[in-house]
Amino acid sequence: MTRLTETKIVLVVRATRLADLKAKFATKSQARFYINSLGADFGDYENEDTSYQAAISKVQQLLGELGRVQLVQRSFLPNFVFGPEDIVVALGQDGLVANTLKYLSGQPLVGVNPDPKRWDGQLLPFQVKGLNQVMREILRGSRKTHEVTMAEAKLNTGLSLCAVNDLFIGLKSHGSARYRISTGDQAENHSSSGVIVSTGMGSTGWFKSLMTGTAGKAMGTISPDTRFPWESEFLYFTVREPFPSNTTGTSLVFGKVTKKQPLLLESQMGENGVIFSDGIEHDFLEFNSGTKATISLAERKGYLVV
């Protein structure tokens, strides 16, 4: 087959609910029995999978006419090496776009909605039927991108992790995370359900939920709708359910993070302390006693095609 270019196009996909069930129960029949026994609609799982697989096949064929296509499952992203000239296409839900973007270093990312009737797709501006034109414009350099600021956690162990939407710092299980938090000239020990650091892209997600459930002081600090631009040169941190005691405080529970004023955290947890990003709990940094984390804006930016 003759290709338009030799540009490598990386197509990122994810497992469907049906694929996850088949991996768990070994066969589709066993998965069907499990879902039906709970009174759920197994047909919906099948329809979702069929629609998604059809979209993958169609997009692979389309992209194959434009460049060299490499298919990558979301689970392989932490270990996948993207080339500097790659064009990346995420075919899935909003979460797949965020999960992909944080592993890129300047490559443009195209978010494609495989099933508009099923998914709203706030980060999926394109559909399969219009992808050919969009990709040709990208190859010509005539398509705009939207810059996205990312958060980054750097540890004194040398490890680091970026986030497109938010970072979570806390305990792996449902318990109290213990740490020392400091920003500027303020510092105190905490016992809480963890700390969330949100970006502009994440300001309509977890951050919005946190602000909706927070009274008074924090809400008066930002606009009522909680949104701030994707390219903002700041982040917000929010402490969940801080507990006051003789050794822990609750005065430093919300604030802004900038390059000049990062957020510093030192773990006081003997085990199960973690830092993960964008809801991907299996891709985490250990954050146990003695580990120090500096939370700030990442040096690299994300670029989402619009």
Task: Give the pLDDT confidence score for residue 144 in this predicted structure.
Answer: 95
Would you state the pLDDT for residue 224? Answer: 52
Structure tokens at 141: 């350099």
pLDDT of amino acid 34: 95
For 147-170, how does the pLDDT look when each residue is reduced to its tens digit (9 = 90+)?
999 999 999 999 999 999 999 999
Q: pLDDT tens across 60-87, in order?
A: 999 999 999 999 999 999 899 999 999 9
Write down the number of H helices and E strands in the chain. 6, 19
Find the mean pLDDT for residues 45-67: 97
What pLDDT is recorded for position 217?
46
Percent of the chain with pLDDT over 70: 96
Altogether, the residues listed in the chain come to a count of 306
Note the pLDDT of residue 76. 94
169, 153 Cβ separation under 8 angstroms = yes
Q: Please, what are the domains in the chain?
A: 8-143 (3.40.50.10330), 151-299 (2.60.200.30)
| Cα–Cα distance, 273 to 4 (Å, whole number) | 49
Residue 293 confidence class, pLDDT cut points 50, 70, 90: very high
Average pLDDT over residues 175-200: 96
State residue 1's pLDDT score: 64
Report which DSSP code applies to 63. Answer: H
The C-alpha atoms of residue 217 and residue 246 are separated, in whole angstroms, by 23
| Mean pLDDT across the chain | 93
Confidence at 222, pLDDT banded by 50, 70, 90: low
Residue 39 scores a pLDDT above 70: yes
232-258: buried (b, 16+ CB within 10 Å) or exposed (e) per residue? Answer: bebbbbbbbebeeeeebbeebbbbebe
Residue 229 and residue 219: Cα distance in Å, rounded?
Answer: 18
At residue 253, does pLDDT exceed 90?
Answer: yes
Give the pLDDT band (50/70/90) at residue 22. Answer: very high
In which band, very low, low, confident or very high, does the pLDDT at 226 lie, cut at 50, 70 and 90?
confident
- Provide the pLDDT confidence category of residue 216 given band limits of 50, 70 and 90: very low
How high is the pLDDT of residue 97?
A: 94
